[in-house]
A and B are shown apart, each in its own frame.
Chain A
């Protein structure tokens, strides 16, 4: 079973991202589970969401404490909340940032593999959200597909079309463009 933890801020779409990723994996025949950290949602406040992907039935109903993959929708969370807690050795960290992976260090994690993509710029390009607070959830899923290979970019785009109510085409294009521009 693969466990993915999303960290974002209210308004960026982390919860929706966890759901879209689950549906993409489901389309590929996997068992899935997706849920948010059950808090009170406020714009700008830290948000956590979870996705589990498995070949067999998922029975656990508990938060993810030892993720295989971390998806960070807002780099300002780094240092502000304990993002890497429990990350498995050689776990993957995918960050929405214009910076390069080597500019980040997570000494508390064991041999993490860092990937970056400028999801905010791509979301702004496709007019997803506003310039000041772009909605980066669909863009970063393109990076997740590329960095992890757990689902294909086609499945991500299909899930976006099923699950995102507006600007379906732009959201899918944002995911595809990010897929092509992931740094590792």
Chain B
């Protein structure tokens, strides 16, 4: 059924359709309405789940870890400082191989105190072992919550997923979303039934002291799960497409086939870039857009296949790794190096702290690529 929903409501409806058993979260702008709505849905009895009120984000994830270890499907949500406060347990939940789903409303880190869109909060969780997805629109938020449980709970994967949506540009923007009730989702997403869980009748030890003899192998297995996850993400995305009419992969191409220049980006800027590509094509420019959905596992195969055919690549990051360059830029360049195709790559940083990224900005980015030599860090619209 189609409805007009904000990104936050779409996230809450996704968790509801996935029949989560436990929700634990702490409010933070602009995420708050996700759990506000879930608390109403639980209170109304529409979702049979335990809603755990906690005193911090750290406790929220701790509650999810406990419940997930006992075999529950869990959900939480946060933003920026809240995600940073979870950081210790972000590591823990991935290494414990608990397929928790967390929707993070991408918000800038303070100071300057900000509630606006910026991907720095989630990029800072890069090396924890979580899978990371970036959504372009509210439909993708709803669909991704459901797919993430199916992917993460696969017995060969067992990884948590951080689903990112841009503050306000999705969280507080109303759009048409096709939603399904849990009955329709049930045939796609079976109940969570892990092989190993906390059980008084079958006692086991979890997260025990691990000597150098074994820790190394735990890391090796965690990494291998990420490698295997790529295939599972592709398969689940195809199955979702067959069932619900919208197919997803690790990336999405838009008019890249014959493109001389390809603009690579993620999150809401990816949607605006598609419109900019149409406008640039009207002017006779052969340009394409390439959206990266998954930052972890990183889709190097897709990146190499599509981008190595272009003459120039521009990567637009809504984050910066201070002292270096945009984080997605680094990954794209590394993948192309791996392929031996040294296509010139331009790195742009735009939209930090919720600064609007318009079609005109993206046209300027393309102009810059046509008229200049590549550089790793080009600031868009910086006031000097």
Interface size range on B against A: 20 to 34
The segment from A58-66, A72-80, A126-134, A137-145 found at the interface with B is: A58-66
29 A-B pairs with CB atoms under 8 Å apart are A19-B4, A23-B174, A26-B2, A26-B176, A32-B174, A32-B175, A34-B174, A35-B172, A35-B173, A35-B174, A38-B115, A38-B167, A38-B168, A38-B172, A58-B175, A59-B136, A59-B272, A59-B274, A59-B275, A60-B271, A60-B272, A61-B166, A61-B173, A62-B356, A62-B357, A62-B358, A63-B358, A65-B358, A65-B360
Bound state CA distance, A60 and B271, in angstroms?
Answer: 5
Chain A residues 26 to 67 lying within 8 A of chain B, measured CB to CB, are 26, 31-36, 38, 58-63, 65
A136 within 8 A of B: no
Contact flags (1/0) for B319-362 with A, using CB distance below 8 Å?
A: 00000000000000000000000000000000000101111100
Q: In the complex, what residues of A have CB within 8 A of residue B271's CB?
A: 59-61
Given A38-B116, A59-B275, A60-B271 in contact, is the A26-B172 Cβ separation under 8 Å? no
Question: How far does the Cβ of A96 sit from chain B's closest Cβ, in whole Å?
Answer: 23
3 closest A-B pairs by CB: A61-B268, A59-B271, A35-B173
Q: Does B60 contact A (CB under 8 A)?
A: no
Interface: A22 (CB within 8 A): yes
B172 touches A22 (CB 8 A): no
Is B137 engaged at the interface, CB distance under 8 Å to the other chain?
yes
The answer to whether the Cβ of B142 comes within 8 Å of any Cβ in the partner chain is: no
Residues of A within 8 Å of B172, CB to CB, are 35-36, 38
Q: How large is the interface on A (under 10, 10 to 19, 20 to 34, 35 or more residues)?
A: 10 to 19
Q: Which residue of chain A has the shortest Cβ distance to B170 in the bound complex?
A: A61
Could you list which residues of chain B lie within 8 angstroms of chain A, going by C-beta atoms?
Answer: 2, 4, 115-116, 136-137, 166-170, 172-176, 268-269, 271-272, 274-275, 354, 356-360
Given the known A-B contacts A33-B174, A62-B356, A63-B358, are A26 and B272 also in contact in the complex, defined by CB atoms under 8 Å?
Answer: no
| Chain A residues, CB < 8 A from B175 | 32-33, 58
The reply to whether A26 and B4 form a contact with Cβ atoms under 8 Å apart is: yes
Residues of B within 8 A of A36 (CB): 172
A38-B274 contact given A22-B4, A26-B4, CB 8 Å threshold: no
- Complex partner residue of B169 from A31, A59, A61, CB under 8 angstroms: A61
Closest to A40 in B: B115
Docked complex Cα distance between A31 and B360 (Å): 23
Assembly CA distance A58 to B356 (angstroms): 17
A23, A60, A65 interface centre (most CB from chain B within 10 Å): A60
Most chain A CB inside 10 Å of its own CB: which residue of B115, B136, B275, B357: B275
Q: In the bound complex, how far is the Cα of B355 from the Cα of A63, in angstroms?
A: 10
Chain A residue at minimum C-beta to C-beta distance from B357: A62
Q: Is the CB of A32 within 8 A of B173?
A: no
**Chain B residues in 8 Å Cβ range of A22:** 4, 174
- Assuming the A-B contacts A59-B137, A60-B272, are A34 and B358 also in contact, with contact meaning beta carbons closer than 8 angstroms in the complex? no
Name the distance in Å between A52's Cβ and chain B's nearest Cβ: 9
CA–CA, A33 to B173, complex, Å?
7
Shortest Cβ gap from A70 to chain B (Å): 19
